[in-house]
Amino acid sequence: MARTIEIYDTTLRDGTQSENFNLSVDDKIRITRELDNLGFDYIEGGWPGSNPISVDFFNKMKEVQLHRTKLAAFGSTRHFHNTPEKDGNLQALLEAETPVVTIFGKSWDIHVHDALKIGLDDNLLIIEDTLAYLKPKVDELIYDAEHFFDGFKKNKDYALETLGSAVRGGAQTIVLCDTNGGTLPAEMQPIISEVQQYLDSLDSKVKLGIHSHNDSETAVANALLAVSLGVDHVQGTINGYGERCGNANLTSIIPALVFKMELDCGVKENIGNLYNTSCLVDELANLGHNRFQPYVGEAAFAHKGGIHVSAVARNPQTYEHIEPEKVGNIRRVLISDQAGRSNILHKAKLWGLDLDANDPVLASIIKELKQLENLGYQYEGAEASFELLMHKYLGMQRKYFEFNGFRVMSNKYRMDKPPLTEATIRLSVGGDEVHTAAMGDGPVNALDRAIRKALNPFYPCLEEMELSDYKVRVLTGEKGTEAKVRVLIQSKDAKSSWGTVGVSVNIIEASWQAMVDSINYKLMKEYNNR
């Protein structure tokens, strides 16, 4: 029978210490429900003694029924000058009424002297009596040995003594924390081995855990190595969010435990939802999803070179270490100037287009692709534009409207006021010419509004479409402000999202190209499926 590893998520506490990572109380509750459905063993909801948002979260969570997950409240050992009964931090933890309480304490003598400003024996005392006070009042007690690895390297005997105090206080799980993230994998084995020997000498039955930070880019490696050494409890965050460089990334750790190390964990049964969970956390935090993340990034199973694509088509194992569907991701074939026939044929099949390997139009598509990319077009993030290109070459592209011209004006009428921007558009739909104008927050927004205003009466489905992302890339710097630019637009509706591209020395022209492609793609999907 495979070992079972406990997964402890601290996205809602440690993850929110990441720069620009913010969650509302409702966001935290939604993530908690999602992680519960996924099968996480523990979710650390926050530090109720530190801020009103955490207090509000724990109060609202009293009305939420969790099925698989145990909710944990996080806090520190008591203040040295307070008794446990009169320590506000400990009372806030109990008022949260969670089945699990996680307490952190100092393992490094420098923190005892310089941060707490107390004696080494005093620190041992507050660790033990804090845990002893909480033990009969909660279902489960976890002790996080903060800065343990740094403390061990500077004063091994004292760092181990702090663990002894935690054992005597009643901790059921002791978590070794690499709080500064400076420990390298080669250092893990001897330290964990000595910890295990020390705990065995106490005849202790506590479970051992790992909490690693990523300041040396080794958090995931350290967590997995710790598990291979017998650690059964792993702490981390979704997408690796956390203070400074982040925490151990659970979206990388969990698939490695399940598929590489063949261990059990609560998430194993629902691991196919890992990709969606990763994206949900980013969406609620209003952050872009890291496309280069292992397992759950959009690029994790993306293939660009024609040789790679050809091999993957025959046997995906040639260039993929696991099947992307196992974590809810998908295989992607990128269109670029490195693309060969295999890439184009793969896309044609994916999009339901009838294109044979011997069809002369295939060579024409590849030639057009290479010419366009020489001009600066890029289709790796703009596959909707390439799908439209293929439809055109196959004679399948319907003309939904025809542009006759546009004009954009910006008027800076007062230096203390933002400019007024207006776009005027002329286009034809089925022989009817439309001439309209719209104001906007900048030229691109004004142009977008004018196009929508003209087309919405003919195509009401455009009302549900919105621009979700807009990027401009300067392609060459030799001509300064005359340089060519590439505009990538991401659009979405209720069902999907898609990317389009435009290139020009004029940023408005490039934006117009990408917007027109985006609208044409939406209309193509809407009316081709009817």
Give the C-alpha separation, 42 to 45, whole Å.
9
* pLDDT score, position 337: 47
If you compute the radius of gyration of the chain from its CA atoms, what whole number of angstroms results?
29
User: Is 6-284 assigned to CATH 3.40.50.300?
Assistant: no
On whether the CB atoms of residues 61 and 32 are closer than 8 A, the answer is: yes
- 73, two tokens: 């409240």
Alpha helices for 256-326 (secondary structure H)? 274-284, 306-314
Q: Which CATH number fits domain 402-528: 3.30.2400.10, 2.40.10.10, 3.40.50.620, 3.30.160.270?
A: 3.30.160.270
Residues sharing a CB contact under 8 Å with residue 443, sequence separation 6 or more, in sequence order: 408, 410, 421, 423, 508, 511
437 contacts 450 by C-beta, under 8 angstroms: yes
Name 488's bridge partners.
471, 501
Residue 280 in tokens: 């949900």
Q: How many CB atoms lie within 10 A of CB 503?
A: 20
- Residues 149 and 178: their CA atoms lie apart, in Å, by 6
Task: Report pLDDT for 484.
Answer: 85
CB 450 within 8 A of CB 439: no
Tell me if 57 sits within 8 A of 31, measured CB to CB: no
Neighbour tally for 353: CB within 10 Å: 16
CB-based contact 361:393 (threshold 8 Å): yes
pLDDT at 413: 79
Cα-based distances in Å from 487 to 467, 503, 510: 13, 6, 6
> pLDDT value at position 94?
97
DSSP 314-325: H-GGGT-SS-GG
Burial 231-265 (b: 16+ CB within 10 A, else e): bbbbbbbbbbbbbeebbbbbbbbbbbbbbeeebeb
Q: Where are the domains of the chain?
A: 6-284, 302-371, 402-528
Question: Is this structure's pTM higher than 0.85?
Answer: no
Spatial separation of the C-alpha atoms in residues 398 and 527, rounded to whole Å:
10
Contact 423, 447 (CB under 8 A): yes
Q: Is residue 58 within 8 Å of 45, Cβ to Cβ?
A: yes
Work out the burial of residue 394: count CB atoms within 10 Å of its CB; fewer than 13 is exposed, 13-18 middle, 19 or more buried.
middle
Unique residue bearing structure tokens 């809407």: 526
Find the DSSP H helices in 11-155: 25-38, 52-61, 88-95, 109-111, 120-134, 148-154
Residues 6+ apart with CB under 8 A from 363: none
Question: Which amino acid, residue 80?
Answer: F
Residue 57 DSSP class: H
Q: Could you give the C-alpha distances from 114 to 141, 176, 284, 468, 528, in angstroms and in order?
A: 27, 21, 38, 48, 69
List the one residue out of 244, 261, 243 whose CA is nearest residue 252. 261
Which residue ranges of the chain lie beneath pLDDT 70?
A: 1, 305-310, 313, 333-342, 380, 476-482, 529-530
Query: Which amino acid makes up residue 410?
Result: S
Find out whether 452 and 406 touch, Cβ atoms under 8 Å: no
